[in-house]
Structure 1
Amino acid sequence: MDDAVRLESLAKSYGSGDSAVTALRDIQVSLPKGSFTAVMGPSGSGKSTLLQCAAALDRPSSGRVLIDGTDIAGLSETQLTEFRRESTGFVFQAFNLLPSLTAEQNVALPVRLAGRKPDRRTVQQALAQVGLEKKAGSRPSQLSGGQQQRVAIARALVTRPAVLFADEPTGALDLTTGRELLEVLRKLVDSPADDGLTTVVMVTHDPNVASFADRVLFLADGSLVGELISPTSEAVAARMTELAVPTC
């Protein structure tokens, strides 16, 4: 299995009857292992819903989601929770670090929540992957915004997930710090740890951010309407401009 994520005829609706809202329509896409994919689209296009379904945070109304070869439709809620904990990592725009814990303790938290004793070497390796091994004893208040987001990435990596999902990870950062964070994500894909390939799937609204990816998927009205391989910020911006222009 060479796909980290595969979406087959994926659809998602909210509500029922006349009030039903379709967020995703017949999405077919494969995301290879060791790839960096950005998801873009106008406001309300369904990109956040796509990310949540692909990350097993929300169940689709129909279709299939396979993560590292596992069809999540066959999992109970308990099994799904355990699967997410072990096989996916998620990074939000907000860092969501516990202020009373050190960076090392924040990174170890998912392992503790799973009822296991964290392996310190694994925690330190996760911090080293994002360049913060020397900040292990620092609390969030002692770290910059970019460093806090890198701790959040290390926390998502500590269980060695099949896929790292990121929802607007640079949204709360300034341009310079955001670029540094994207370089960290790029390095995770290009220089994987000894235990295997890292796959990143990221939602963004910024063409400059999307240009760090290998591939950009474009959504409009809940449908996949195109893609760019080896994107540049100019090409992404042009495509987004096209999507923003209403068709007659």
Structure 2
Amino acid sequence: MNHNDHAIQLCSVSRSHKAGDSAVTALDRVSLSFPRGTFTAVMGPSGSGKSTLLQCAAGLDRPTSGSVTVGGTELTGLSETKLTLLRRERIGFVFQAFNLLPALTAEQNVALPLRLAGKRVAKARVREVLRQVGLGDRARHRPTEMSGGQQQRVALARALITRPEVLFGDEPTGALDSRTSREVLTLLRSMVDREGRTIIMVTHDPVAASYADRVIFLVDGRVNGELTGASADDIAARMTRLEAVPC
């Protein structure tokens, strides 16, 4: 694979945070590639660096050392303005909290990233994305008139409106019951299979992770192996072993 086949590449990325007089290393020389058109889950015990990895890969946080490349653009040298533009135009986010604006309808929530970017909002495009997530008939409903699963799908449509190169999910099914969670994960899986999207998802749920092509495990800020095409049971067993490792 040449580097253009990768949506995101991390090369020896470290991230330290100051804690009093000492520094805490959240990521320790992590090198990873995320090929285009793949679904990757990132797992690890609490405090293993999962969220920091996601934030560095998405350009939300700057690594202390190492480099992050998004589709051929190296992020390290970018100004805050250029970084903001890159995130806005090329990266989508879905979080555990749906972060919808309650006063706005589904279609207004979905159109928000375009409005914030000062771009023209094509109503047909908004409707198309809502249809993609199975909410074609709920465009005029407000969040309070929807279930949790429907709200998360609106959040997903909002993330997709800019046609991002990579979609990041931080526990995207964390607030949903298991049936609704499966619906959202099936939708994410089909976006990878049918539309060739690239998805990177942090999760603590082995069932959610089993929808991904591969699962990367982090322990103490380092990559601790990966599984490809694994079942939820295999993933759960691996997590149990990781969490049992004495500190």
Give the structure-1-normalised TM-score: 0.96
Q: How many residues align?
A: 244
Residue 9 of structure 2 is aligned to residue 10 of structure 1: no
Cα distance in 2 between the residues matched to 1:122 and 1:60: 35
Cα distance in 1 between the residues matched to 2:29 and 2:12: 4
- Aligned partner letter, 1:223: R
Cα distance in 2 between the residues matched to 1:133 and 1:17: 51
Q: Partner of 2:145 in structure 1?
A: 142
Residue 51 of structure 2 is aligned to residue 52 of structure 1: no
Deviations 1:114-155 (A, max 9, x none): 011211122122112211111111110111100000000000
Cα distance in 1 between the residues matched to 2:222 and 2:159: 29
Alignment equivalent of 1:80, drawn from 83, 102, 105: 83
Residue 118 of structure 2 is aligned to residue 119 of structure 1: no
Secondary structure in 2 matching 1:108: helix
Cα distance in 2 between the residues matched to 1:106 and 1:247: 46
Cα distance in 1 between the residues matched to 2:131 and 2:193: 15
Residue 75 of structure 1: how far off its partner (Å) = 1.0
Deviations 1:162-207 (A, max 9, x none): 0000000111111111111101111111111xxxx31100000011
- 1:166/1:74 CA distance change after superposition, 3 Å: same
- Aligned partner letter, 1:159: T
- Aligned partner letter, 1:4: A
Give the structure-2-normalised TM-score: 0.96
Q: Partner of 1:237 in structure 2?
A: 236
Residue 38 of structure 2 is aligned to residue 35 of structure 1: yes
Residue 187 of structure 2 is aligned to residue 179 of structure 1: no
CA RMSD of aligned residues (A): 1.2
Residue 214 of structure 1: how far off its partner (Å) = 0.3
Deviations 1:79-112 (A, max 9, x none): 1111100000011100000111110110000000
Cα distance in 2 between the residues matched to 1:20 and 1:198: 37
Secondary structure in 1 matching 2:52: helix
- 1:236/1:116 CA distance change after superposition, 3 Å: same
Secondary structure in 2 matching 1:136: coil
Cα distance in 1 between the residues matched to 2:114 and 2:184: 24
Q: Partner of 2:170 in structure 1?
A: 167
Deviations 1:39-93 (A, max 9, x none): 0000000001000111111010011111111111121001111110000001110
Cα distance in 2 between the residues matched to 1:191 and 1:151: 20
Q: Partner of 1:201 in structure 2?
A: 200
Segment of structure 1 superposing worse, 12-21 or 113-122: 12-21
- Aligned partner letter, 2:132: Q
Residue 246 of structure 1: how far off its partner (Å) = 2.3
Q: Partner of 1:190 in structure 2?
A: 193
- 1:143/1:16 CA distance change after superposition, 3 Å: closer
- Aligned partner letter, 1:161: P
Secondary structure in 2 matching 1:9: strand
- Aligned partner letter, 2:63: P
- Which stretches of structure 1, 4 residues or more, deviate above 2 A after TM superposition? none
Aligned-residue sequence identity (percent) comes to 62
Residue 247 of structure 1: how far off its partner (Å) = 4.3
What are structure 1's unaligned runs of at least 5 residues? none
Residue 18 of structure 1: how far off its partner (Å) = 4.3
